[in-house]
Structure 1
Amino acid sequence: MKNLYGTLANHDYRIGIVVSHFNEIVTERLLSGCVAQLKTLGIGDEQITVAHVPGAMELARMTKELGASNRVDGLIALGSVIRGETSHYVYVCQTTANGLADLSLNGPQPVMFGVLTTENMDQALARAGGKAGNKGAECAIDIVQILNVQRQIKELAQS
């Protein structure tokens, strides 16, 4: 039996990050955690491209555009959507999640979903470097693991 594992080995991966500015107090922490974790994994500034967009609804489109540049091996989308008093939250969350999932399934690069969908600001901050960890840092680890499994699958296909 052959087992393929997502290791944290860096094979000079180029990572694209698309981050929304809406709820910036949260998204800046997600971005900082993500970049810091990538650097811990040996991925340098020259291997990281960050695109800034206004809100979560723009994440899928700009993640697609960054992927189409062929300058990145993997993508991370970071954002924060906090429930308000209207149903707008539901539409933003569904549209963003569906767009990014479709892109990850059908695009050339894997996409990590680092969009927090929370009930309030306290929950968001807890997941952006607070008591519940940092989703941005988690996405950094996840993208490297996925890229390594993908690499192993390609090597398997060529053997």
Structure 2
Amino acid sequence: MIKGITLVRPAVTSEAIDELTSFFSALGFEPGRGWQLDGSRGVPFLAPLGNVEFVEGQLPATPEILIEVTGLESIYQVAKGWLADRTNEPKLTEIIETSWKSRSFNVEPVPGHSFAFWEWSEPLRGKPIAIEGDLSAAGMSFAIVVARWNAVITDRLLEGSLDALHRSGAAKSDIEIVRVPGAWEVPSAARALAESGEYDAIITLACLIRGETAHYEAIYNEVSRGIGQSQQETGVPHAFGVLTCETLEQALNRAGIKAGNKGFESAIAAIEMVSIHRKLKPSEAAK
């Protein structure tokens, strides 16, 4: 089975191979296992992919070695910075658009050793197209299960969820809010709502703050297990907005003070998952 391909290029002098080693190291190439034998030495550099290409007819006006990259401008700036410290008249062209829907530049860090760095003009060319969810909540229905325990936190989470849903186009009539005593009761209510078949997604909001006993771990494990099990068995997406914090300050920060609002983030995740489900099962979009 074919494993890889190696292109060997002679470097006439020790200075040349040292400069090439410095250049490719600066660009971030992974060094291979070097060798030294009978007065010769090799300094390999590795790349994730490689190929050999045969051309019939006129060869393209490019160096023999073409290196595909991502972030061509960043590579260009690294090469330009490396060349700025050299006095051996290295050559560097500007980035240009090619006739084969790519962008490239040529560089000759050492006389006699030219390389072309390039990237596709179309970022997704050659990559598999992923199914991703949209962030429009128009026409979707949601149920929000929110615990009253630690209300100073959960009320902020609820505000964040409602903000995200309304900003994304959800109608007020398509949002049901269910309040339960605490985090322990969240999975039961979420399961009942999911089994009703009236909602595209369930958003679960609660806050657990560690105390001096093992009560915290016991509650969290069962809550997370129950919400996950409800999602798996009903097929209805459940967004997990249950905070697990060491202190009240941490909880406040994650409820909109400093570290974003977990309720907002959970609602956005719910919208995206509904969209993904509809794309995977087009018949659901007609509900």
TM score, norm. by length of structure 2: 0.53
The alignment partner of 1:13 has SS state of: coil
Query: Is it true that 1:97 corresponds to 2:228 in the alignment?
Result: no
CA distance in 1, matches of 2:146, 2:174: 17
The alignment partner of 2:278 has SS state of: helix
CA distance in 2, matches of 1:16, 1:74: 7
In the alignment, which of 238, 244, 247 is matched to residue 111 of structure 1? Answer: 238
In the alignment, which of 202, 217, 224 is matched to residue 75 of structure 1? Answer: 202
> Alpha carbons of 1:139 and 1:109: their partners in 2 closer, same or farther (altered >3 Å)?
same
Cα deviation for residue 108 of structure 1 reads: 3.1
The structure having more radius of gyration, on CA atoms, is 2
CA distance in 1, matches of 2:200, 2:275: 11
Higher relative contact order structure (alpha carbons within 8 Å, sequence separation ≥ 6): 1
Match of 2:146 in 1: 19
Q: Which amino acid in the other structure matches residue 69 of structure 1?
A: S
Q: Which amino acid in the other structure matches residue 8 of structure 1?
A: L
CA distance in 2, matches of 1:74, 1:88: 29
The alignment partner of 2:190 has SS state of: helix
Q: Which string of whole-angstrom CA distances, capped at 9 and with x for unpartnered residues, describes residues 15-53 of structure 1? A: 000000100000000001100110000102101000000
The alignment partner of 2:206 has SS state of: strand
CA distance in 2, matches of 1:48, 1:23: 22
5+ residue gaps in structure 2? 1-127
Aligned residues: 156
Match of 2:280 in 1: 153
The alignment partner of 2:281 has SS state of: helix
Match of 1:46 in 2: 173
5+ residue gaps in structure 1? none
Q: Give 4+ residue runs of structure 1 displaced > 2 Å after superposition.
A: none
Percentage of matched positions with identical amino acids:
36
User: Root-mean-square deviation (CA), in Å?
Assistant: 1.2
Cα deviation for residue 3 of structure 1 reads: 1.9
CA distance in 1, matches of 2:275, 2:152: 32
Match of 1:139 in 2: 266
State which drifts further: 54-63 or 65-74: 65-74
Cα deviation for residue 9 of structure 1 reads: 2.3
In the alignment, which of 149, 161, 169 is matched to residue 34 of structure 1? Answer: 161
CA distance in 1, matches of 2:171, 2:281: 25
